[in-house]
Structure 1
Amino acid sequence: MNQSSPVRVRFAPSPTGTLHIGSVRTALFNYLFAKKHQGQFVLRIEDTDRTRSTRESEAEIMAGLRWVGLDWDCGPIDSDSTEVLGELGPYRQTERLAIYQRYIKQMLKTGAAYERNGAIWLRIPEARRSDPQDRIRFYDLIRGEVSVPTETIEDFVIVKSDGIPLFLLTNVIDDHEMGITHVIRGEDHISNTHKQILIAETLGLNSAKYAHIPLILNPDRSKMSKRVGSTATLEFKQQGYLPAAIINFLAFLGWSPGTDREIFTLDELAEAFSIERVGKSAAVFNVDRLDYLNAYYIRQTPADELAANLLPDFWSIEQLGPMPSVDDSYFLTVLNLVKERMVQLTDFVELARYFYQEPKYGAKLLVYKKSTDKRTLVALEATIKRLKLVGQAWASADELRQVLASIVKANELDNGDLYWPVRVALSGAEFSPAPEQLLQVLGKERSLSRLESALVELRKP
């Protein structure tokens, strides 16, 4: 590829299982590099493993990429359609077999390849293999110059005995035919690169520029498995993570912006991304960091937008009752309040339960640890009496805070004497939003009903 060639990168997964979250990181780096250079991001499906490749896996790969916002410029539109984006197709390798055959016949004709035991092998020229000074070299955009002695490479299979070419060959041909300028992939492919350069040289093709990104490790420094269910991309969706959090988290696994900034949108990442700032060292998949980012994005997302992510998958009819519409005002008010305490979308049911169900608790929980039954009774009675005087229009949280503060002062109580039992009476929980916020959301009638129920519970012998 010459310097004037437009940047074109590819993400080429095999549809043999779920889309691994580490593969999404690879797709992301390709996507960011393409957008940074006003280039194209190609999706190519490497489905030559006929025994394990499925259209179901292909569909999941596409769904996972779309969920995190990595839309491709060229590639299949979906797994069930022959329609494609761009003019570089077909994009499934099983639909490109005739293209591969042209190159295979060329190598057989020139003697660069030969048949043995039904398979086709690439021949390493004897002159190169016998020269101890001969090396296969390439410049890695992340790791610098990489080379191996040619004498260490034996002839190798490029087409299996069943006639299906191996990815070593198909990748080289596809990258050339599709005008791929940069191959950005995991460092576990470095060992394949020398063989692919040999194939390209044999066919008289220029090689793309290579960049091998570092591996992702588990917290115990073990390699993340490609077929472990808990690392499947759409499983993170099911666990209640937001796409923006996933993208922001993955971008920092091996890359750094060179500043202290840690929050980026996808467009901002594309603007800031540089392959030179991708490190060589393995990155650790820190779930605590992902949770921190997810909680941040949940807090920052407006309730009406967050509702579309939450419903219907993260609503429980059994625990919360009938599902509301995404624009239900009470639901949005509740969501706007509890999202401040959410880490994952799955947290909503537990945090919102007392807004939809009557709380359950014992009298003992109503009494603050530094208070007494008597002072708690005084606090609840005074609160009920005072709140009955508040207009039916109810009040803002700020006004209700002032009302509660005046009750504390008028009855010579400590804050814990009143705020604790009011919180428990309204939510049944030790930890919840502030009492004035609970009062404001629940409304006058429901709030008074719960406070009176608490008074009954406390008076039980």
Structure 2
Amino acid sequence: MTVRVRFAPSPTGMFHVGGARSALQNWIYAKQQGGVFVLRIEDTDAARNKPEWTEGILSALDWIGISRGSYEGPYFQSANAGEHRAAATRLYESGRAYYCDCTREDVQARTGSQYQGYDGYHRDLGLGPGPGHALRFRTPDEGTTVVVDLIRGEPTFENKLIEDFVIARGDGSPVFLLANVVDDMTMGITHVIRAEEHLPNTPKQQLLWDALGVKPPVWAHVPVVVNEKRQKLSKRRDKVALEAYRDEGYLAGAMRNYLMLLGWAPSGDREIVPWSVIEDEFRLEEVNPSPAFFDEKKLRAFNGEYIRALPVPEFIDACQPWLTGTGTLAPPPWQPEEFDADAFAAVAPLAQTRIAVLSEIVPNVDFLFLASPLIDEAAWTKTMKDGSADLLDAAVAAFEALESWDAESLKSTLEAVGAERGLKLGKTQAPVRVAVTGRTVGLPLFESLEVLGRERTLTRMRAARLRLV
């Protein structure tokens, strides 16, 4: 039997990091088993679907390494509507489902409670199809439904506690539970690997598989992804869009690595490992069922490690979207003609060790490409104290006299200026850094001054001195 797994997102918004985690787990499992990864777009919610969301899903999958052409699909759930309706009809004709026209208010009036589920009122009344008549599945009165789950063992559900649930609405359109089952049957899905939030629906879906005469798939419900307060990640509250991380400058390799650690870990005391190791060592049955904490600080640290591991030419290439403002990224504060590729290449190794996401490259190097630096006023106020004017005057004079404009000469010269005033280098270089770069932190100062050049450095220092008058 060929293993066939599916990833079935809805095109109703940005691509959730939890969905990306599930996609990767399905992808790896299919590869390990010599199977097939199927992409199905569950687009039946026409009111919320947008074509751009579908394209966003495809692009996000491309980015994390599940590229177009390497999987089966995408299929669209809406194209299978005929099969959904046919399955509903079979269930009705076989006596496994019945029609009901009860409203929520009707049920509440009979049961005296707004919290009690459907009471089975129409089970044996023989109501036929018609406008406003929903189709309900006839859940067995006795016994249990056992869900054999590769991660959670054998969760067991008492059938009497499962209400007769709706499988088709009053207008005849099947609901998610039935459509999902029919699609999986049609596509020959053998393993359903999905988020824990779907587990409560699983006994209902397994009953549908049984009623339609097909053996259910192998189930595996991966842990819910939570924030630092151990709340399920929410689009309304948390940063969950994969595209947002991509556009901020997270590397796909770092994101893949981190997502796979949400509920699982490679052998040994390792977390950052080559993708080939993850593909080889990942075992679905070893996934921890406990909630998985999505720690953005840890992801950021991961990304910094991945950035530092890049060969410098690859790092330079990776920074280009932020340096040029291509695609959906915001343009940098300089004009295209002001950008100096050679100057950037000179400082790239310095910047590579200091940034955690690629978007941070812009504030680290903008001073190189602007006519004058963007002054951080808080940094100016903090740094330009009494004595700064004298120090800048002395530094300008000393730098003007330099025969060799290189980092080592600049450093030793400024050290001497500071020593004459009883200052250590850190205190001495702070006003110079703010004058030249506009900030108190950034790339190593003297290497930066070397690349910026004598004329531009001195011009900025003189301008800062005039501001102190």
Interval of TM-score (by shorter of Structure 1 and Structure 2): 0.7 to 0.9
For residue 184 of structure 1, give the secondary structure of its aligned residue in structure 2. strand
Q: 1:279: Cα distance to partner?
A: 0.8
Partners of 2:383 and 2:434 within 8 A in 1: yes
Show CA shifts across 1:185-204 (max 9, x none): 11111111111111111122
Structure 2 counterpart of 1:436? 446
Residue 123 of structure 1, aligned match among 135, 138, 159: 138
Q: 1:408: Cα distance to partner?
A: 4.1
Structure 1 counterpart of 2:209? 200
Show CA shifts across 1:332-367 (max 9, x none): 434443343223333233222221232358699467
The structure-2 alpha-carbon separation of the partners of 1:245 and 1:69, relative to structure 1 and needing over 3 Å to count, comes to same
Show CA shifts across 1:15-54 (max 9, x none): 2233222222222221222233332221101122233233
**Aligned residue pairs: how many?**
424
For residue 291 of structure 1, give the secondary structure of its aligned residue in structure 2. helix
Show CA shifts across 1:57-82 (max 9, x none): 222222222233233667xxxxxxxx
Structure 1 counterpart of 2:150? 141
The structure-2 alpha-carbon separation of the partners of 1:423 and 1:196, relative to structure 1 and needing over 3 Å to count, comes to same
Residue 182 of structure 2, aligned match among 155, 167, 173: 173
The structure-2 alpha-carbon separation of the partners of 1:410 and 1:420, relative to structure 1 and needing over 3 Å to count, comes to closer
Structure 2 counterpart of 1:45? 41
Structure 2 counterpart of 1:92? 76
Question: Mapping of 1:304-315 within 5 angstroms?
Answer: 304-310=316-322, 311-313=324-326, 314=329
State the alpha-carbon separation in 1 of the partners of residues 166 and 384 from structure 2.
75
State the alpha-carbon separation in 2 of the partners of residues 292 and 328 from structure 1.
28
Residue 405 of structure 1, aligned match among 398, 405, 412: 412
Structure 2 counterpart of 1:217? 226
For residue 139 of structure 1, give the secondary structure of its aligned residue in structure 2. coil
Residue 306 of structure 2, aligned match among 297, 320, 329: 297
- 1:322 aligns to 2:336 (yes or no): yes
The structure-2 alpha-carbon separation of the partners of 1:244 and 1:430, relative to structure 1 and needing over 3 Å to count, comes to same
Structure 1 counterpart of 2:272? 263
Which letter maps to 1:123?
R
The structure-2 alpha-carbon separation of the partners of 1:421 and 1:48, relative to structure 1 and needing over 3 Å to count, comes to closer
Show CA shifts across 1:211-263 (max 9, x none): 11111112122222255584222223333333333222222222212422222
- Which deviates further from its counterpart, 173-182 or 63-72? 63-72
State the alpha-carbon separation in 1 of the partners of residues 432 and 203 from structure 2.
71
Q: 1:373: Cα distance to partner?
A: 6.3
The structure-2 alpha-carbon separation of the partners of 1:338 and 1:124, relative to structure 1 and needing over 3 Å to count, comes to same
Q: CA RMSD in A?
A: 3.2
Structure 2 counterpart of 1:77? none
Structure 2 counterpart of 1:237? 246
TM-score, with length taken from structure 2 = 0.79
Give me the identity figure in percent.
35
Partners of 2:395 and 2:417 within 8 A in 1: no
Unaligned runs of 5+ in 1: 75-84
State the alpha-carbon separation in 2 of the partners of residues 90 and 409 from structure 1.
67
- 1:254 aligns to 2:263 (yes or no): yes
Q: 1:291: Cα distance to partner?
A: 1.9
Partners of 1:120 and 1:161 within 8 A in 2: yes
The structure-2 alpha-carbon separation of the partners of 1:53 and 1:364, relative to structure 1 and needing over 3 Å to count, comes to closer
State the alpha-carbon separation in 2 of the partners of residues 99 and 151 from structure 1.
29
Residue 398 of structure 2, aligned match among 382, 388, 404: 382
Unaligned runs of 5+ in 2: 102-132
Partners of 2:196 and 2:222 within 8 A in 1: yes
TM-score, with length taken from structure 1 = 0.80
- 1:112 aligns to 2:112 (yes or no): no
